Structure 1
């Protein structure tokens, strides 16, 4: 079953987590964090559980139809917000328990001083077709 892991960046002037926002980390701490994520993905590629992953730039915008064919565009999200999606990973695993195990491991990526940041990750199963009833 496929699952989406959403990596939320929770920073801003008042972080809502127990670690410093990444923009305050030393360059080598950022490098180590990214190395951990890449090694995690590589290990899952070897087991066949990795599907895809991508980091997202902090720039972006919100778009919503106005019903007139001209979608209004708003500013944001901004890196200064307290919560924005920093990236995602898709995994394909045998069970919910395995998905939880991997999410917990990814949550322990290193942060300042090499200490695991234990960040919250959003774990979502992909919507699948309901079983077909046949008679």
Structure 2
């Protein structure tokens, strides 16, 4: 079963949070995520994944009445922003939840686990069902 695992962070706190990481903290975060990605790859569970930029790199697009895209800077909704994601193909939902917990335990400033919220979305094989 495929799952999308997404890490979300408060959009209005992105710059403050990112500036609170020392160089050592950043290296610990990258090492944690690299180890998780390597584990997923070795297990044959990795499909895709990426860390994303902050709110300043987001564009929101809507179809205009004239058929042309209407583009604005920033996220569509205030609140949280997608900071990164993994697409995994795993044997069970329990495994997807285990991976999400590992992502959430990524060290933050000072090395303390961030415990950031991580969403797990099942990807249906066919059309989405309600």
* Same fold by TM-score greater than 0.5: yes
Higher helix share: 2
Structure 1: state its 5+ residue gaps.
Answer: 131-135
Q: CA deviation at 1:82?
A: 4.4
| Match 2:40 to one of 21, 29, 44 | 44
Please report the RMSD computed on the Cα atoms of aligned residues, expressed in angstroms: 2.1
Partner of 2:12: 12
SS at structure 2 position matched to 1:12: helix
In the alignment, structure 1 residue 83 sits paired with structure 2 residue 70: no
Residue 29 of structure 2 aligns to a residue in which SS?
Answer: helix
Match of 1:25 among 21, 27, 37: 21
Deviation at 1:105, TM superposition (A): 1.4
Tell me if the contact between 2:9 and 2:117 (Cα under 8 Å) persists in the aligned partners: no
SS in 2 for 1:72: strand
- For the pair shown, the structure with the greater C-alpha radius of gyration is 1
Distance (whole Å) between structure 2 residues aligned to residue 45 and residue 32 of structure 1: 20
TM-superposition CA deviations, 1:57-103 (whole Å, max 9, x none): 221210000231111111213xxx64211111111100111111111
With over 3 angstroms needed to count, the CA separation of the structure-2 counterparts of 1:29 and 1:11, relative to structure 1, is: farther
Give the gaps of 5 or more residues in structure 2: none
Count of residues in correspondence between the two structures:
123
- What TM-score does the superposition give when structure 1 sets the normalisation length? 0.81
Mapped to 1, the partners of 2:98 and 2:84 lie a distance apart of: 19
CA displacement 1:33-71 (0-9 Å, x = unmatched): 011001101011111111111111221210000231111
